[in-house]
Structure 1
Amino acid sequence: MKEIMISTGRITKNFSGKEVIRDCRISVERGMVYGFLGKNGAGKTTMFKLLLGFLKPTTGTATVLGMDSVKENAKILKHTGSLIEAPVFYEHLSATDNLLFHLAYMGLENMEVEPALERVGLPGTGTQPVRKFSLGMRQRLAIARAIVHKPEVLILDEPVNGLDPVGMREMRLLFRQLVDQDGMTILLSSHLLSEVQQVTDRIGVIADGRLVLEEDTEEIRRNHPCDIEDYLIGVMEGGQLHE
Structure 2
Amino acid sequence: MLYVIGIGPGALATMTHEAKEAIEDAEVIVGYKTYTHLVKALTGDKEVVKTGMCKEIERCQAAIDLALTGRKVALISSGDAGVYGMAGLILELVSKQGLDLEVRLIPGMTASIAAASLLGAPLMHDFCHISLSDLLTPWAVIEKRIIAAAQADFVICFYNPRSRGRAEHLARAFELMAPFKCSDTPVGVVKSASRKKQETWITSLGAMDFEPVDMTSLVIVGNASTYVSQGRMITPRGYQV
TM-score by length of structure 1 reads 0.30
Mark the structure with the bigger radius of gyration.
2
Q: Which has the higher helix share?
A: 1
What TM-score comes out, normalization by structure 2 length? Answer: 0.30
